[in-house]
Structure 1
Amino acid sequence: MPTCSKDATTTEAEVATDVVALRRSVVAGAIGVFVHWFDWAAYAYLAGTVATVFFPAEDSTTGLLAVFGVFAVSFGIRPIGAMVFGPLGDKIGRKRTLSLVIFMMSGATLTIGLLPGYASIGIAAPILLVALRLVQGFAAGGEFGSAASFLAESAPRRRRGFGVSWLEVGSLLGFLAGSFVFLLLSTGLDDGQLTSWGWRIPFLVSAPLGVIGVIIRNKIEDTPEYRALEANDAVPSSPVRELVRSHKRQLLQAAGLMTAMHVPFYMVLTYLVTYETDHLGHSADSAALLSTVISLLGLVLVPVFGHLSDRVGRKPVFVGATVALLVVSTPAFLLMRAGLAGTWAAGLLLGVILAAILGTYAVWSAETFPTRTRQSGLSIAYNLTAALFAGTVPYVMTVLISATGSTLVPGPYLMVFAVGGLVAALSLKETRGSALLRPEDVSETPPEARRATPAA
């Protein structure tokens, strides 16, 4: 009996330790993603006001296009940030890059909130805005790879899927928080107040959030896997070269998973609002409400699917989601033609499928790469596919619908990327419960990286 009691006590202590470690890693990993998406939503919703403040007033359309051009430029520079921060994280550790990227993002966001407008400093205002958005985009290029690597390597092995899924919960929360702040500003302030000073509030609010993130991230330890690389003197000197030479297959597989996430994410949570108002005739309020409800549904379901992947595996959940996307996409857009009720039913169904993808793609991608090149692989795959396929969704849909005259185009478009994700998923092995630190990480490293005999 005493032995049983001791074992039970030990098990309870281990579980409690796991829970505490998981909470700490989730907060440290997800807060930067929250800040990034909060800023993204605030900038997108305040585009009209930002155009008035920073660009000449003679042509409002030109000003608005310029604002969205700045938005696109910040998106396009992310792969460059990924090429810098991904390898940097593999060379100096996850903790340091986590702190660095959130410091850069928050500093640039704060400066935008303090920036004088065109009426005060003329052409310098839009130039400075572009420069600061470039800094934000550059730093954002390092956020996902750093956070996903950190969460995967910090979460308990048996709860890794659940832990990493909170990365996307942070994204959805940031998006919703930005939308909510915009709602408060638009209802509480008149146009003059919003243009004069109200637009600055979201950018100034994100600064203390960033400071909190820096403090939290500075207090954490680096991951056990990265510390093992340091202990074995196996930190890579050229992680990108090693990635391209030895792990091109994993890079392509992760890119397939991520593309199958990016396109539905932007289709369902951003473009669908425009689609409803322009092609279905629904009100802007109704479209925005559906987007909000889908995001709230994701907050609940993404961790559920992450936990499910810990129970049954990454492959069944992700393959099931991409098959469902392949089968449902076109019928969903057909259903939207049936009226508001049909639009809501189809939107919520696509939202559930998206939640299943969001709950599994990041952890499966992280488990695909070895520790030595994990952050490089995640950063490059995520940001290259985002630059090519994510931000282009609204533009491509507008062009294709105009060229074909069919409002069903989004359905087949989603099907194409569902097939790509399915092919990538079927080519991958199941990784649930696998060890992230592999023998090759510490004992089969290239000569230039193995400068000492690995520790026992």
Structure 2
Amino acid sequence: MPTSSTDVTTEDRVTTDVVALRRSVAAGAVGVFVHWFDWAAYAYLAGTVATVFFPSEDATTGLLAVFGVFAVSFGIRPVGAMVFGPLGDRIGRKRTLSLVIFMMSGATLTIGLLPGYASIGVAAPVLLVVLRLVQGFAAGGEFGSAASFLAESSPRRRRGFGVSWLEVGSLLGFLAGSFVFLLLSTGLDDGQLTSWGWRIPFLVAAPLGVIGFIIRNKIEDTPEYRALEASDTLPRRPVRELFRSNKKQMFQAAGLMTAMHVPFYAVLTYLVTYETDDLGHSADTAALLSTVISLLGLVLVPVFGMLSDRVGRKPVFVGATAALLVLATPAFLLMRTGLAGTWIAGLLLGVILAAILGTYAVWSAEIFPTRTRQSGLSISYNLTAALFAGTVPYLMTVLISATGSTLVPGPYLMVAAAGGLVAALSLKETAGSTLLRPEDVSGATPER
């Protein structure tokens, strides 16, 4: 039977949507992958980096210096958010995506080529600090740029699925960094790792960044941004506009993001330390569980993103945070029963985390108007990351030491879940909504 013109048009449109979605996903997720690959490599190689850049008779002092540099790169992210968020609202998502990955990759490559303390003395740790600051500054613009771009580039009815790949990129980068470290630690002796092996992950990340830069440089900007551009209604001062008109949305997004940050770092990073130090499991077993949870997330995050397109953001996110609120403390009780209980509880928390990861970014993007979307996402994400993400391992260690209770992580996760639940219940359903609102192009007057 001949195909009608209507069928051809529909088929072509679906094909175009799929191709456009794949291109958008690649452009949006590649920078997140590079960032998390670098993050994992630096974290796992902390001991070696301490030896190369912070030589000391006391190994703990050197290690603390490395993690201090790590913390500084987190602390500067809100500054990057205040720069790249408004910049993306003024000059476009595409340009900030390209600029951010160029800066991150350039700093990563330079770290891989940086001489150690033995070669250039105190200049080595100083330069390392500067380069980590550059990386943190650029990373402050990555999430807001990528989430805005993916949300605005994805087909309306597949937006949750499209934006969920942002977190798939995070998990892939984390796993890739862990895998490279495993290869280095098993394939090289300590002398080789200290002499030159530690440089490999940073040098590998550079060409990945170049590929990402090329991909991002070839894409078109989003339809929503181009509509603002065409109507000459781009915001002149997006941060002022954001704080004047969208403060409520910033608090709501911060609630959603805190409910993501705390379990993300608790389950994927701190849980390894918790298992070895507080439960007495072997490091290999703890690392294996972390890897399995990450692999589970790779499968489930886009599934939950797709589910949110079908049933809505609210049912998925509210269900996940309610489950975390109810099950967090019982999960840590179950971990104390033995290795089997630890795996069951860890996988359960991993499923809940995947549901949150699959929905929080797209929901946060949908609640902001196009005019201030990148500013709102960047500032909310990085402020909550600085306050609640990197502090998780430190706070858990301090609280367990102070209270003597290994159940502390459970109530802490419950507090984060409660905050996310309150934010979610205050929000309207946004699945399938249009991102370009009338006030974006006509109701809001550009500031002079």
The two structures have a TM-score, normalised by structure 1, of 0.97
Query: Match for residue 452 of structure 1?
Result: none
Q: Deviations over 1:205-248 (max 9, x none)?
A: 00000000110000000000000000000000000000000000
The 5 Å alignment of 1:103-182 reads 103-182=102-181
Query: Match for residue 211 of structure 1?
Result: 210
Runs ≥4 residues deviating over 6 A: none
Q: Which amino acid aligns with 1:115?
A: L
The 1:173–1:447 alpha-carbon spacing in structure 2 relative to 1, beyond 3 Å, is: closer
The 5 Å alignment of 1:346-365 reads 346-365=345-364
Q: 1: CA distance between counterparts of 2:57 and 2:397? A: 27
SS at match of 1:408: coil
SS at match of 2:429: coil
SS at match of 1:161: helix
Query: Match for residue 248 of structure 2?
Result: 249
How far residue 13 of structure 1 moved from its aligned partner, in angstroms, is: 1.1
User: Is the contact made by 2:254 and 2:380 (CA closer than 8 Å) also made in structure 1?
Assistant: yes
Q: Deviations over 1:278-323 (max 9, x none)?
A: 0100000000000000000000000000000000000000000000
Structure 1 alignment gaps of length 5 or more: 450-456
How far residue 10 of structure 1 moved from its aligned partner, in angstroms, is: 1.8
Q: 2: CA distance between counterparts of 1:425 and 1:448? A: 32
Q: Which amino acid aligns with 1:48?
A: G
Query: Match for residue 331 of structure 2?
Result: 332
How far residue 5 of structure 1 moved from its aligned partner, in angstroms, is: 2.7
Query: Match for residue 445 of structure 2?
Result: 446
Q: 2: CA distance between counterparts of 1:276 and 1:245? A: 46
Query: Match for residue 290 of structure 2?
Result: 291
Q: 1: CA distance between counterparts of 2:415 and 2:75? A: 23
The 5 Å alignment of 1:359-438 reads 359-438=358-437
Q: Which amino acid aligns with 2:424?
A: A
Query: Match for residue 9 of structure 1?
Result: 8
Query: Match for residue 454 of structure 1?
Result: none
How far residue 53 of structure 1 moved from its aligned partner, in angstroms, is: 0.2
Identity across matched positions, percent: 89
Q: Deviations over 1:110-160 (max 9, x none)?
A: 000000000000000000000000000000000000000000000011100
Q: 1: CA distance between counterparts of 2:54 and 2:117? A: 6
Q: Deviations over 1:63-99 (max 9, x none)?
A: 1000000000000000000000000000000000000
The 5 Å alignment of 1:259-298 reads 259-298=258-297
How far residue 6 of structure 1 moved from its aligned partner, in angstroms, is: 2.5
Q: 2: CA distance between counterparts of 1:255 and 1:413? A: 17
Q: 2: CA distance between counterparts of 1:417 and 1:293? A: 24
Instruction: Give the number of equivalent residue pairs.
Output: 448
Query: Match for residue 47 of structure 1?
Result: 46
Q: Which amino acid aligns with 1:286?
A: T
SS at match of 1:338: coil
Q: 2: CA distance between counterparts of 1:402 and 1:66? A: 22
Q: Which amino acid aligns with 2:128?
A: L
Query: Match for residue 306 of structure 1?
Result: 305
SS at match of 2:322: helix
Q: Which amino acid aligns with 2:337?
A: A
Q: Which amino acid aligns with 1:19?
A: V
How far residue 447 of structure 1 moved from its aligned partner, in angstroms, is: 5.0
User: Is the contact made by 2:89 and 2:372 (CA closer than 8 Å) also made in structure 1?
Assistant: yes
Q: Which amino acid aligns with 1:186?
A: S
Query: Match for residue 63 of structure 1?
Result: 62
Structure 2 alignment gaps of length 5 or more: none
Query: Match for residue 92 of structure 2?
Result: 93
Q: 2: CA distance between counterparts of 1:331 and 1:79? A: 35
Q: Does 2:217 align with 1:233? A: no
SS at match of 1:58: coil
Q: 1: CA distance between counterparts of 2:351 and 2:6? A: 40
Q: 2: CA distance between counterparts of 1:17 and 1:433? A: 19
Q: 1: CA distance between counterparts of 2:415 and 2:446? A: 43
Q: Deviations over 1:138-194 (max 9, x none)?
A: 000000000000000000111000000000000000000000000000000000000
How far residue 8 of structure 1 moved from its aligned partner, in angstroms, is: 2.1
The two structures have a TM-score, normalised by structure 2, of 0.99
Q: 1: CA distance between counterparts of 2:420 and 2:330? A: 19
Q: 1: CA distance between counterparts of 2:399 and 2:31? A: 35
Query: Match for residue 202 of structure 1?
Result: 201
Query: Match for residue 190 of structure 2?
Result: 191
